[in-house]
Amino acid sequence: MDYQHILQSIQQDLQPLAQVGHQADYIPALAAVNPDQWGICINTLDGTEHALGDSDVPFSLQSITKVFALAMSLSLEGDDLWLRMGKEPSGTAFNSLIQLELEHGKPRNPFINAGAIVMADILVERLNNPEQAFINFVRQLSGSPNIDYNFEVARSEHSVAYLNTAIANLLKYHSNIHGDIDRVLRFYFMMCSIEMSCRQLAHAFLAFANHRDPFDHAGFSLTSSQVKRMNAIMQTCGFYDEAGEFSYLVGLPGKSGVGGGIAAVFPGRYSVAVWSPRLNSKGNSVMGMKALELLTTHTRQSIF
């Protein structure tokens, strides 16, 4: 498969969308990002890498980090994790309070904000230094020791955290947060603030495309079955209330973030990361979504 030629074709096909959408300006630090950037990188399980555009420019991962949090929480809790959250698509916005109230404080899945805040609570409760453990885990997965949190972004999110604070309080009311709300939220915003490039992110997600070798990174282990089930949750829940559309158009498990990034995997073959800050109304990258649709179209390969 000539992935480099395919990426060049995708770049040309994306040009009509270059000015469509807006970056996540409700987070002050993200509002200042140049929206006219685009990068993509593919890592294959046989050891090849193919990149194009701004693939080495770090960007804010935001909700993509929920995949890392899920891996760590699942390693620590096993199936007990699902006593505190579900595995179903939300069908509502990622920060919906209504759904959480109707379902008595049990988040619909780990990838909406409520689910990720519960996972932050688990990691704060179970780990002596969750911030250090989390960044060590991400660094080892990516093979990049220089990856770090962006403290300005974390502070920026904390300064406008009204809805996430309401979510956390509702979770606490239903006894689904055990720790101090402010401590848990500060860690949650730190997780979201991690910056990586497409090249680093594709490398980090390669472990989730690999169901053959043991998953054991920075002291956190998952069985092949658990990694497959993480793929299933990415497939059905990884794109907020646009998960069905992504599954229909792209046909790969993945996770998006409002920083404009998307990471996806073709189990047994490759991982891919794409970034463009301009978002659609659902909070997903316009060019990122289209790039991955074109990737599976040009390669004539998806999981279906």
Q: What is the pLDDT along the chain (304 residues), one digit of tens a residue?
A: 899 999 999 999 999 999 999 999 888 888 889 999 999 999 999 999 999 999 999 999 999 999 999 999 999 999 999 999 999 998 788 888 999 999 999 999 999 999 999 999 999 999 999 999 999 999 999 999 999 999 999 999 999 999 999 999 999 999 999 999 999 999 999 999 999 999 999 999 999 999 888 999 999 999 999 999 999 999 999 998 899 999 999 999 999 999 999 999 999 999 999 999 999 999 999 999 999 999 999 999 999 8
CA–CA gap between residue 201 and residue 194 (Å, rounded):
11
* CATH assignment, 63-192: 3.40.710.10
What pLDDT, on a 0 to 100 scale, did the predictor assign at position 211?
87
CA–CA gap between residue 298 and residue 40 (Å, rounded):
15
CA–CA gap between residue 142 and residue 147 (Å, rounded):
9
Identity (one letter) of the amino acid at 239?
F
pTM assigned to the model: 0.96
Give the tokens for residue 70: 């899920």
What pLDDT, on a 0 to 100 scale, did the predictor assign at position 76?
98
Which stretches of the chain are DSSP H helices? 3-13, 28-31, 65-77, 97-102, 113-126, 130-142, 151-159, 162-173, 181-192, 198-209, 224-237, 243-249, 286-299
CA–CA gap between residue 259 and residue 246 (Å, rounded):
18
Give the tokens for residue 150: 């962006």
Sign of the C-alpha dihedral computed for residues 11, 13, 15 and 21 taken in this order = negative
| Contact assessment for residue 285 and residue 256, using Cβ atoms and an 8 Å cutoff | yes
| Contact assessment for residue 150 and residue 194, using Cβ atoms and an 8 Å cutoff | yes
CA–CA gap between residue 275 and residue 99 (Å, rounded):
30
Nearest to 108 by CA among 90, 91, 92, 125: 90
Give the domain ranges of the chain.
3-62+195-299, 63-192
Domain 3-62+195-299: CATH superfamily, name plus number: DD-peptidase/beta-lactamase superfamily (3.40.710.10)
CA–CA gap between residue 104 and residue 92 (Å, rounded):
16
Are both 3-62+195-299 and 63-192 of the same fold? yes
Sign of the C-alpha dihedral computed for residues 7, 208, 131 and 220 taken in this order = negative
Identity (one letter) of the amino acid at 242?
E
